[in-house]
C-alpha cells in the first residue's frame, strides 16, 4: 500500500480516522514526550526511517510507507516540520541533499550544515520495519524516548551525528595516508570490486569508467557462493552517471541460483533509490542476505534507451560488516564505495 491508499482506507470510517489522527485512541505524542521529560519545542523536526522521500520524480525512496504515515501524525500532533517528503514537484537539488541523511556514516550530510539549529531531531521508525545498517547508524547515536502507535522515537542531536561522521572520515583518511594506490580491507577481500580504470569515459573515481551498456541486459558479475559468502548481510553498490533532463534511471538486477543453476531469487537495485549523490552521479546500492541454498550470484545492468545514463563506475560487492578503503592515483579516497575526498 502507498501512504495515500492507507489514509484513503481510513476515510471510509471518518470518526475512527479523525480519532486516530488526533491521538484519541492511543497516547498522544505531546503526552509521550511530556512523560519522558521533553516537549515539542525541544525538537526541530521529525525524521522517519526507512527514509521516505517521494516527489522529485528523480529519486523515489518509498520504503516504510506506513511508518511515514505514522510519522506524519506525530509531526501533526507536535506541530513540527518533517525532513521526509511526500509531495509533488520537490526540487532535485533539495532532494539530493536531504536523502544523504540516510546514507550511513560516510556520506556528507548537507542537512547538518544548512540548518544551524542545535535542537535534536525526533528520529522514528515503525517497529515492524527493518532498518539497514546505514539507517541503524543514526539510531545508534540517538537517545531512546519511547513509542506510541507502534512508532518508536529517539532524540538525534545533530552535533553528535556531525562529530561521529567527522571522526569516522578522519580515521579513514589516516589509514589512507599510509596506503599506496589501491584497495585495503579491514577483514577480508570484497566479493567483487571493479574500478573500471581501463574505461575511456569520464570517471567518478580512479582513471576511467565504463560507457553505458544499452539495448540488452549486460552481465557484470558472476560469483560462486560458498559458506563464508553466505554469512551476514551483503551490500552491492555502483556509481552511475544519470541524465539531468528527465526522470528515467538505470537499474541493476541481482539473480541468485542453486547448485543446479535454478533461479531462487531475483531483486533490483534502482539508481533512483540512491542515498548518496554527487551532482548527477548516483550511488545505486542495496543490502541483502544470500540464502543458504544459493550457490551462484549474478549481477546485471539492465538495458536502457539512449541518454538514460552515460557511464557506470566503482562496482563493489562486500560483506556489510567489512570496511573497504580505496585510494586512487590522484589521492582521492573512498570507503565502502562512498567518496570522502574528491
| Per-residue pLDDT reduced to its tens digit, 243-259 | 999 888 999 999 999 99
pLDDT averaged over every residue in the chain: 91
Mean pLDDT over 132-144 rounds to: 98
Helix (H, G, I), strand (E, B) or coil at 8: helix
- Residue 188 pLDDT more than 80? yes
Residue 52 neighbours by CB under 8 Å, 6+ apart: 3, 61, 62, 63, 64, 65, 67, 68, 71, 84, 85, 86
Helix (H) or strand (E) holding 230: helix 227-230
pLDDT band at 214 (very low <50, low <70, confident <90, very high): confident
Angstrom distances, CA of residue 98 to CA of 19, 178, 296, 314:
32, 33, 36, 23
Place of cell 480519532: 19
- Residue 110 pLDDT more than 50? yes
pLDDT band at 156 (very low <50, low <70, confident <90, very high): very high
Query: Phi, psi (5° rounding) for residue 296?
Result: -145, 140
pLDDT digits (tens, 9 = 90+) for 51-90: 999 988 899 998 888 999 999 999 999 999 999 998 877 8
Query: Phi, psi (5° rounding) for residue 136?
Result: -60, -30
Amino acid at each position: 500500500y502507498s501512504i495515500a491508499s492507507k489514509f484513503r482506507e481510513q476515510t471510509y470510517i471518518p470518526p475512527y480516522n479523525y480519532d486516530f489522527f488526533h491521538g484519541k485512541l492511543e497516547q498522544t505524542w505531546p503526552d509521550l514526550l511530556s512523560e519522558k521529560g521533553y516537549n515539542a519545542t525541544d525538537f526541530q523536526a521529525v525524521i522517519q526511517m526507512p527514509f521516505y522521500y517521494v516527489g522529485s520524480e528523480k529519486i523515489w525512496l518509498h520504503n516504510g510507507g506506513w511508518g511515514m504515515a505514522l510519522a506524519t501524525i506525530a509531526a501533526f500532533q507536535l506541530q513540527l516540520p518533517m525532513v521526509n517528503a511526500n509531495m509533488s514537484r520537490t526540487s532535485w537539488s533539495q532532494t539530493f541533499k536531504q536523502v544523504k541523511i540516510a546514507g550511513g556514516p560516510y556520506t556528507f550530510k548537507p542537512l547538518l550544515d544548512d540548518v544551524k539549529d542545535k535542537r535534536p531531531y525526533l528520529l522514528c521508525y515503525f517497529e515492524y520495519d527493518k532498518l539497514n545498517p546505514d539507517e541503524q547508524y543514526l539510531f545508534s547515536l540517538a537517545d531512546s524516548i519511547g513509542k506510541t502507535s507502534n512508532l518508536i522515537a529517539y532524540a538525534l542531536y545533530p552535533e553528535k551525528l556531525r562529530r561521529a561522521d567527522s571522526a569516522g572520515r578522519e580515521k579513514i583518511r589516516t589509514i589512507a595516508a599510509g596506503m599506496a594506490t589501491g584497495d585495503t580491507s579491514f577483514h577480508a577481500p570484497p566479493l567483487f570490486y571493479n574500478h573500471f580504470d581501463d574505461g575511456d569515459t569520464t570517471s567518478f573515481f580512479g582513471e576511467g569508467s565504463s560507457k553505458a551498456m544499452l539495448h540488452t541486459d549486460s552481465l557484470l558479475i558472476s560469483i560462486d557462493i560458498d559458506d563464508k559468502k553466505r554469512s551476514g548481510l551483503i551490500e552491492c553498490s555502483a556509481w552511475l552517471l544519470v541524465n539531468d533532463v528527465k526522470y528515467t534511471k538505470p537499474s541493476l538486477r541481482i539473480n541468485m541460483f542453486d547448485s543446479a543453476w535454478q533461479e531462487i531469487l531475483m531483486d533490483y537495485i534502482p539508481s533512483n533509490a540512491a542515498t548518496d549523490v554527487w551532482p548527477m552521479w548516483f550511488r545505486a546500492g542495496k543490502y541483502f542476505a544470500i540464502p543458504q541454498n544459493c550457490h551462484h550470484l549474478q549481477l546485471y545492468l539492465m538495458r536502457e534507451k539512449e541518454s538514460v545514463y552515460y557511464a557506470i563506475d566503482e562496482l563493489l560487492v562486500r560483506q556489510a560488516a567489512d570496511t573497504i578503503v580505496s585510494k586512487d592515483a590522484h589521492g582521492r579516497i573512498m570507503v565502502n564505495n562512498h567518496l570522502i575526498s574528491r
